[in-house]
Structure 1
Amino acid sequence: MQRHLYEEDHEHFRGVAQEFNAREIAPHYAQWDADHLISRRMWTAAGDQGLLGLAVPEDFGGMGLTDYRFRSVLDEEFAKANHLAVSLAFHLHDDMVLPHLLAYGSEDLKGRWLPGMVTGETVTAIAMTEPGAGSDLRGVRTKAVRDGDDWLISGQKSFIGNGISGDAALVLARTDGGTGRGARDSCSLFMVGKGEGFSTGNQLDKMGLKASDTAELFFDSVRVPAGDLVGQPGRGLEYATAQLPQGRLAIAVASAAVARSVYQATVTYTKDRNAFGERIIDFQNTRFAMADILTEVEVTEGYVDRAMLAFNDGGLDAASAARVKLWASERVKSITDRCLQLHGGYGYILEYPVAQAFLASRLLTIFGGTNEIMRDVVGREIAR
């Protein structure tokens, strides 16, 4: 079934993404994976090619590309090239941090942060999750207290992607003076640059996506200028909730891209590999399995495409985003598992893209809110 999602401009952008993958990532990716760290050169090269901060207005150095199909093209090319850790790093920067600055940041704040995010000179992380507060952000304990014209932030964040490589983090902190679960007006968002009092803990050794660094962050009375408050005080949870659809759409888009890539790699493998004198694809079990997988891939792409177009039109609400994230991430988890099985012993070897995709896709049902939370969001919408 042919997709009718992309237009000429998207395909031109695809060519740029393909060339970037081949020139700037492919020669170095294995080393980044071994180092558990993407080189800073990659970020500035991406900025040079116009691949970062796509939605940033021209006044702040961007191209103002608010059509999410361009981000989808990037994901597809990262998946085809098996550069999944770079895809995650980009999502954190562009889909988790950037929307908050665009929607709620003052003109001064945008002027100080957005140009560097576009050029890759400023790499960002989103610092909301804590050891005791994951999907339920009302439980955050990191606090910000007013000190003259500044804020002092103290606390700890965990599981922070780009936590080591990043130059700054979008931090959710309590500004109500409390230390436990609070109301929706208990927290605020801040852009916090690395400096005195801002330190990273040990790099966390993930099961997959190793080139994308993940760490704990520590804040010890970090002084943050009042101008780096994002939006209004006390509205951090409201802002985070409002931006959830884009983050969850990003996960669905990545899921669909990985599912398609793994399916295509498995078709190639089963046609090339023989057993008992026959190609693996010629066994009825294989053909049945691949028929099911292709159907799921195409259904998922159709669902994600519809969600993308709804997002472009401003019509992707929280429950709809939860549904598409739930479906796509569950499908890619299942698809990579079945494709790995069809690779036999080779599927268990990390040299093969299916093994890396299997490990990477396992994050997608957890990242951006666990799928248990997605089910609860959808269920509560049904029960209204």
Structure 2
Amino acid sequence: MLPTPEAVDLIGLVRDIAERELRPRAAAAEEAGEYPRDLIRMLGRIGLLGLPYEETYGGGAQPYEVYLQVVEELAERWATVALTVSVHTLSCWPLATHGTLEQRKRWLPNLIGGDLLGAYCLSEPHAGSDAAALTTRAVLDGDAYVLTGAKAWITHGGIADFYTIFARTSDDGTRGISCFLVPADTPGLSFGAPEKKMGLSASPTTIVNLDGVRVPVERRIGREGDGFGIALGALNSGRLGVAAIATGLAEAALRAAVAYAREREQFGQPIIDHQGLGFLLADMAAAVESARALYVVAARRHDASQPFRHQASVAKLVATDNAMQVATDAVQVLGGAGYTRDHPVERYFREAKVMQIFEGTNQIQRLVISRELRSSG
């Protein structure tokens, strides 16, 4: 599938904006732990927070293949910003795909219009990869559900304008989970202190506490008990977002390593001309290209309404493992300089690690892939 002229122009526009607005601010903001809400609003107003959603509701109606390339361009300049776009898109997915026509008309335009920011609340302190074990409760009380519990590792916790929250409405296993769209100003909703992370410091991650949070029935997305399936469907798409972020991060690490290897001389020639380093860089380039190809293939299946769960897990697994390896090798190429904060590769190294963990650890991806292989035999 060849990209349309519109898609080429969009990706080029994003590349220019990211180079001009994101790259110059990334290092200092990550060092200070400052979330760039002004940049997110700017990206929202040019339509980047609703790219894959219908034009009817103010979205960009772009194929997932194009949306993911946009995410990669952002990630190459600043992973935190790309993560914001991916998580926000994930947060809107349940409403956009499982909401009633009335719900979508009422809420989706504001959610993807540019000013609002979303958070996706599935994980809990004792239910991370095992989402079916979540214990947050939603008890029906008249015309509202009362939510009680806690969500953990929530990106945008404390700064989001709305929270897509999964809670247990019965004890019927995976059929006892429901999905709710909760405004940030709902009484009883509170947040823990931001986690002190090794990377992505500008992106706040917190506990979300629900202490008798009253949510009108009309804010339940899908039928009662449909939440687990909604959550998994959202994660299949979200994993492609992580794959694109990891690919952009790996591309940034590769470019930094190549630039250094061209300039740094040892034994009378640039170190890129030494076969040991040259071959290492070649392997890094192959890893980046492989990751990109995998997420594009998965996205094309998504866009063609074909099953893509297997391909999404493969793309997430390979892209994030490759990003970790490429970032590690980039530090090695720079040697002692790569271990200092004078160069960005040490930050890429720290940021790459979490890619193997969120949206389902890579051990979980291997489990998903192996089960798909077993059932397809």
SS of the equivalent of 2:11 reads helix
Which residue of 76, 80, 96 corresponds with 2:76?
80
Listed one character per residue, the Cα deviations across residues 273-303 of structure 1 (whole Å, up to 9, x for unaligned) are 1224331112221012122222222222222
C-alpha distance in structure 2 between counterparts of 1:50 and 1:283, whole Å: 45
Which residue of 181, 190, 200 corresponds with 2:180?
190
Q: 1:255 to 1:27 in 2, by over 3 A?
A: closer
Q: What residue in structure 1 maps to residue 35 of structure 2?
A: 38
Listed one character per residue, the Cα deviations across residues 156-188 of structure 1 (whole Å, up to 9, x for unaligned) are 011100112201111010001x4xxx5121110
Letter in 2 for 1:134: G
Which residue of 44, 47, 63 corresponds with 1:47?
44
C-alpha distance in structure 1 between counterparts of 2:365 and 2:19, whole Å: 36
Following TM superposition, by how much is the alpha carbon of 1:358 offset from its aligned partner in structure 2, in angstroms?
1.2
Q: Does 1:116 align with 2:113?
A: no
5 Å matches for 1:1-384?
6-26=3-23, 28-65=25-62, 67-81=63-77, 83-94=78-89, 96-176=90-170, 178=171, 183-195=173-185, 196-384=187-375
C-alpha distance in structure 1 between counterparts of 2:220 and 2:250, whole Å: 39
SS of the equivalent of 1:362 reads helix
The answer as to whether partners of 1:10 and 1:69 remain within 8 angstroms in 2 is: no
Letter in 2 for 1:213: P
Letter in 2 for 1:259: A
Q: 1:8 to 1:289 in 2, by over 3 A?
A: same
Higher helix content, 1 or 2: 2
Letter in 2 for 1:85: T
SS of the equivalent of 1:217 reads strand
C-alpha distance in structure 2 between counterparts of 1:279 and 1:22, whole Å: 27
Q: 1:32 to 1:227 in 2, by over 3 A?
A: farther
Aligned length: 374
Letter in 2 for 1:14: I
Q: 1:306 to 1:56 in 2, by over 3 A?
A: closer
| Consecutive unaligned residues in structure 1, runs of 5 or more | none
Letter in 1 for 2:91: V
Q: 1:287 to 1:24 in 2, by over 3 A?
A: closer
SS of the equivalent of 1:287 reads helix
C-alpha distance in structure 1 between counterparts of 2:113 and 2:127, whole Å: 32
Listed one character per residue, the Cα deviations across residues 77-106 of structure 1 (whole Å, up to 9, x for unaligned) are 22332x111111111001x21221111012
The answer as to whether partners of 2:179 and 2:220 remain within 8 angstroms in 1 is: yes
Following TM superposition, by how much is the alpha carbon of 1:28 offset from its aligned partner in structure 2, in angstroms?
4.1
List structure 1 segments (4+ residues) > 4 angstroms apart after TM superposition: none
Q: 1:26 to 1:289 in 2, by over 3 A?
A: closer
Listed one character per residue, the Cα deviations across residues 320-349 of structure 1 (whole Å, up to 9, x for unaligned) are 221221112111111111111101122122
Following TM superposition, by how much is the alpha carbon of 1:230 offset from its aligned partner in structure 2, in angstroms?
0.6
Following TM superposition, by how much is the alpha carbon of 1:34 offset from its aligned partner in structure 2, in angstroms?
4.0
The answer as to whether partners of 1:44 and 1:119 remain within 8 angstroms in 2 is: no
The answer as to whether partners of 2:99 and 2:221 remain within 8 angstroms in 1 is: yes
Following TM superposition, by how much is the alpha carbon of 1:18 offset from its aligned partner in structure 2, in angstroms?
2.8
Q: 1:6 to 1:359 in 2, by over 3 A?
A: farther
Following TM superposition, by how much is the alpha carbon of 1:272 offset from its aligned partner in structure 2, in angstroms?
0.7
Q: Give me the TM-score of the superposition, normalised by structure 1.
A: 0.92
SS of the equivalent of 2:125 reads coil
Following TM superposition, by how much is the alpha carbon of 1:24 offset from its aligned partner in structure 2, in angstroms?
4.1
SS of the equivalent of 1:343 reads helix
C-alpha distance in structure 1 between counterparts of 2:58 and 2:256, whole Å: 38
Instruction: Tell me which moved more, 211-220 or 10-19.
Output: 10-19
SS of the equivalent of 1:190 reads strand
Following TM superposition, by how much is the alpha carbon of 1:31 offset from its aligned partner in structure 2, in angstroms?
4.8
